[in-house]
Amino acid sequence: MSRVSTDNIIRSPVQDRINFHGDSLALGKQAKIISDKLVRAVLAELDTRRYPHRDRAMFMFSLKAGMRTEEIASVTWGMVIDAESEIADVIALENRAAKGKSGPVIPMHPDLKAALMALQQERGVKVCPDLPVIHSERDRGL
């Protein structure tokens, strides 16, 4: 096996493609599809957590809107609510929240909309257009 030295760190080419579970992650490999059974199991687990509505919304942002973690963390209520403070039919990501720095408009999946409605109802007066949707335990953004 050949060794590659970079900045005094010796790594084999295979180590660059191994994740923490030991599975091979070839560069450019597409994400795996999550089965309905696994989705139900994850949602059931999230319902037992301390912040089930927040956690469900995070999971739905990823699953139903295809958003990355940094995009999810930067979503504010202003990006998901309309002028009447109702959950909108689209997610209007701002440039600062998007990976490519050009904010796309993402259609709102009904399951994500339901999760956001539950979170909005739970958060009450803490739902302001400039506040993050996904909050920490101390009511800060992530």
Tell me the per-residue pLDDT of 37-91, one tens digit each, with 9 for 90 and over: 999 999 999 999 999 999 999 999 999 999 988 899 999 999 999 989 899 999 9
Q: What pLDDT score does 93 carry?
A: 87
Tell me the per-residue pLDDT of 103-124, one tens digit each, with 9 for 90 and over: 688 999 999 999 999 999 998 8
Where are the chain's structural domains?
31-126
Long-range CB pairs of 4-9 (<8 Å, 24+ gap) are none
Kindly write down the DSSP assignment for every residue of 16-63, as one continuous string.
Answer: GGB-TTS-B--TTPPPPPPPHHHHHHHHHHHTTSSSHHHHHHHHHHHH
Q: What pLDDT score does 3 carry?
A: 46
- CA distance readout (Å), 41 to 17, 34, 49, 111: 28, 11, 13, 16
Q: What pLDDT score does 28 carry?
A: 61
Q: pTM above the 0.85 mark?
A: no
Element (H, E) at 91: strand 90-92
In terms of Cα–Cα distance, which of 121, 56, 52, 54 is closest to 86?
Answer: 121
Q: What pLDDT score does 127 carry?
A: 80
Q: What pLDDT score does 47 carry?
A: 94
Residues 6+ positions from 115 with CB-CB distance below 8 Å: 53, 56, 57, 60
Between these two residues, 63 and 20, which has the higher pLDDT value? 63
Element (H, E) at 64: helix 52-65
Q: What pLDDT score does 33 carry?
A: 83
Q: What pLDDT score does 87 carry?
A: 94
b/e 112-132 (16+ beta carbons within 10 angstroms → b): bbebbebbbeebeeebeeeeb
